[in-house]
A and B are shown apart, each in its own frame.
Chain A
């Protein structure tokens, strides 16, 4: 069986949940191998093995962390050229897309982005995508080269399939062109302690109706009552009521949680583009004509400043 390369994304002491999802998907296509950047960390390698990676191609050159994108492209392309995998799978993140685009050019491969499902297909790898602001479902097939696919978080539930992962060094020589875009400063953002927005199971989102930065404290309280991540519309992030990295929509995150609770959000097409894939949508909005209600499973026409505090009480009553 051919290998399937999964490009791992790390977090503190492990890999991100979307990487585990890629390993789960990869098992449908062949035998998963991971490409891992940074220090060899036994816990990370074990975690990759737990989800089915028999091999971990490890590249540790410090240049990978100092320069944008290209060093990773060099490593992934070299491994792909050597092992001729059945596919290269990456997460649909900014970095995943950057690496995917360049790797596709280097390998002369077809590329599919933002897949929500991937199959081997009888005539080549097939993937489903949600397109046109989530209003259409497309199926595409790769007909040339080693398929390169970026996959949306939450496309599948990660399932363990334990094997012992073997580490194989994958460092390559980097030329001048690979050391061009240098990261001269990095300001870490403080962790929120809440689930990651991109792959959270439950999201509570606030929009212009929240009214102020202070108002988002209320959204956070509701999120915490539900163990949820906090999201925001662009109106709210533009007002700087909440940081941009929490924006949901066309130019923010695309999310597909089990539950999306939209409060004070009208449901503009660019916002819907980022949350249309949510399994269940609940909306609170004072305007009965707000478009968000047309895609909601349950909606309350009301003032969020009144309804949310009551809802938090109600949840704590029922869960205590």
Chain B
């Protein structure tokens, strides 16, 4: 069985993010990392294998040269091999293009289960998994808060916690699963695992290797484009008082003044 885990290289959440003149996120000038939410996907893939399913885990990233850092972390967490789709023509891609390339790469590696994060911590769209499932014609079970794979039955079962109900959903393989941060804390790779990961194979593919023309992706092909971008005006710092027995009264006064009570 093959489990593919798409992992994204994103700016460190606490770093000061910058945008380039073409309004794309500057991924070179900012410290980056494997998206924290994709660590949960890696963790689940590894747990499936540790749980006795005989599977090879392939970590897959679409991104700039530095995105290999994300792959290395995924390999240290337990992926057996990595695939890096690296092509300058990808610059400025929207979710449509990214999902096109991910799906093509996943088809090329072969797959039974695709495990993704619930959202990338930079774009925060939460649509790429559904798009990839649609493109692959695979079953889709998204926003899983728990996941189990039954290799002999050829099924995946998840729990999906909504606002009004908690659902158990079962799908036949091949399937695309996205997992939330409720699935269980990702492991910290041990030093030995980090060293061992350096010997694991990473394959680099260009768009040509995937049979995709540069005109199908990137800024030129984007179906949605950012036309302006501005920092949110800094919030006027409000009043902060120290409670000396009248803190509650002061809040009540403030709420009354703003007509909340």
Contact = CB atoms under 8 A, between A and B. Distances in A.
B215 interface: no
Given A111-B224, A288-B242, A282 B251 contact: yes
Contact of A300 (B129, B243, B258): B243
A187 interface: yes
Interface in A256-273: 258-259, 269-270, 273
B249 to A, nearest CB: 6
A182 B171 contact: yes
The residue among B161, B180, B238 with the most chain A CB atoms within 10 A of its own CB is B238
A226 B258 CA distance: 13
Interface residues of A, number: 94
Contacts of A94: 126, 142-143, 160, 162
Contacts, number: 264
Contacts of B190: none
Nearest to B95: A111
Given A70-B140, A196-B163, A307 B95 contact: no
B201 interface: no
A1 interface: no
Contacts of A182: 169-171
A137 interface: yes
Nearest to A311: B248
Interface string B31-74: 00000010000000000000000000000000000000000000
Interface string B220-261: 001111111111100101111111000111111011101011
The residue among B121, B157, B240 with the most chain A CB atoms within 10 A of its own CB is B240
B124 A131 contact: yes
Please name the 5 residue pairs, one residue from A and one from B, whose CB atoms are nearest each other, closest first: A302-B243, A110-B223, A101-B130, A101-B127, A310-B248
Interface of B: 13-14, 17, 19, 23, 37, 94-96, 99, 118-119, 121-122, 124-131, 133-135, 137, 139-143, 145, 157, 160-172, 175, 180-182, 222-232, 235, 237-243, 247-252, 254-256, 258, 260-261
Interface of A: 11, 68-70, 73, 94-95, 97-102, 104-106, 108-114, 126, 130-145, 177, 180-189, 191, 196-198, 202, 226, 234, 244-245, 250-251, 258-259, 269-270, 273, 276, 280-282, 284, 288, 293-303, 306-308, 310-311, 313-315, 318-319
